[in-house]
Structures are given as C-alpha cells and as structure tokens.
Amino acid sequence: MIWPLLEGMAMGLLLSLIIGPVFFALVQNSLEHGFRHSVFMALGILLSDALYVVITHFGVNWLSTSLYFESILGIVGGIVLIGFAAASFLGKNVVRPNTGGMVIKRAKRRKGFFKGLGLNGINPFVLLFWVSVAGIVNLKESYNAWDKATYYVALLLTVFLIDLIKAYVAQALSKYVTPSLMKKMNSFVALILLIFGIRLLFFGLSQLP
C-alpha cells in the first residue's frame, strides 16, 4: 500500500509542476479575491480532475483512440479559454483593500468553484494527461483495486494541497500589489489564456477526421 501512496504523490507533484492557464488563473484569483475564495476554485479543479479519473480509468481504451472526442473537446476548450481571456482583459481591475485601497466587489465563492471546474475541465491536455495516468495504472499488474484507489487519492490530494499553497503564497504577496501591477497582471493572464485558447483551438481542428 505504501508504494501506490508514494507513486501517487510523486505523480501529483509532477502534475503540479505543469504551468498552464489554470495556474495563472489561480494566482490571479487569489490576488483579487483572497485565499478563501481560491480554496473554492481549487475545489473546482479537484472535482474536474476527479471526474477525469473516473472517465479515463473506466474508458481509457475508448478515449485514447477517439480522435473525434479530443477534437470536439479541443475546439470547445479553445473557444472557452478565449472567452475567459476576453473577460479577463475587458474586466475591471480588482485589488483587495489591503493591497492599495482599491474598492473590491466581493465575488461569490461558487463563481470561483465553477471557474476552476471549467478552466481545468475543458482543457484536452488535462484529459490526455489522465489518459496516460490511467494507462500507467492499468499496466501495474501488482495493483489491486485498493492500490489503484490509493494511488489516485494520493495524486489528487497532492495536487489540491499544492494548489492551496500556490494560492496562499499569492495572497501573502498581495500587499505588494499596486493597482498598476494588478492591471498588468490581468493583461498578462488574459494573454496567457488567449495563447492557450488559440493553441487548443488549433489542436482540436487538427484532430478533425
């Protein structure tokens, strides 16, 4: 049981090192709305990962060979990311009161939850990652059902805890954030989301049969 636990934690660390649009969105969310709000966003990310675990574990063979599924997910994901980029770029800059005195409109926590769920869920590269993980787990003949469950739980909790650390560190640095810096941060996040969105869109289009 100890090896599935350790291997799951190691894979979770690997996944946490991948810097994508969710990373930048999580940091931005923590700067704007604080750590507690970002906890709900991290929970949304956790739920989307857990759903992918269930889908890929029980359907890895079908998902890995279905180019049509990847294509649709890529196109939809690209459009959604581009939409998030436009919203981030056009939205008002918001900084918490202890980071420069700007007025903040309190965001609902469920909004952060669904943002995390959506951003992570519509990324086909996240799906491909979980497909590869499911393949690795299924190839471990020594793993029984309990070992596989331990592996996945360790992986998911590791990613979740590291997301919380990222959000906490971002909030700790928020007192150094000025309105000007926040404006630049919003533009940077919008650019990152736009790049990933265009990349996903082209990925989806390239996978069309």
pTM of the model: 0.70
Residue 84 class from Cβ within 10 Å (0-12 exposed, 13-18 middle, 19+ buried)? buried
Confidence of residue 206 (pLDDT cuts 50, 70, 90): confident
- Per-domain residue ranges for the chain? 2-71+93-183
Contact between 43 and 113 (Cβ < 8 Å)? yes
Residue 209 class from Cβ within 10 Å (0-12 exposed, 13-18 middle, 19+ buried)? exposed
Residue scoring higher pLDDT (100 or 86): 86
The pLDDT assigned to 102 comes to 40
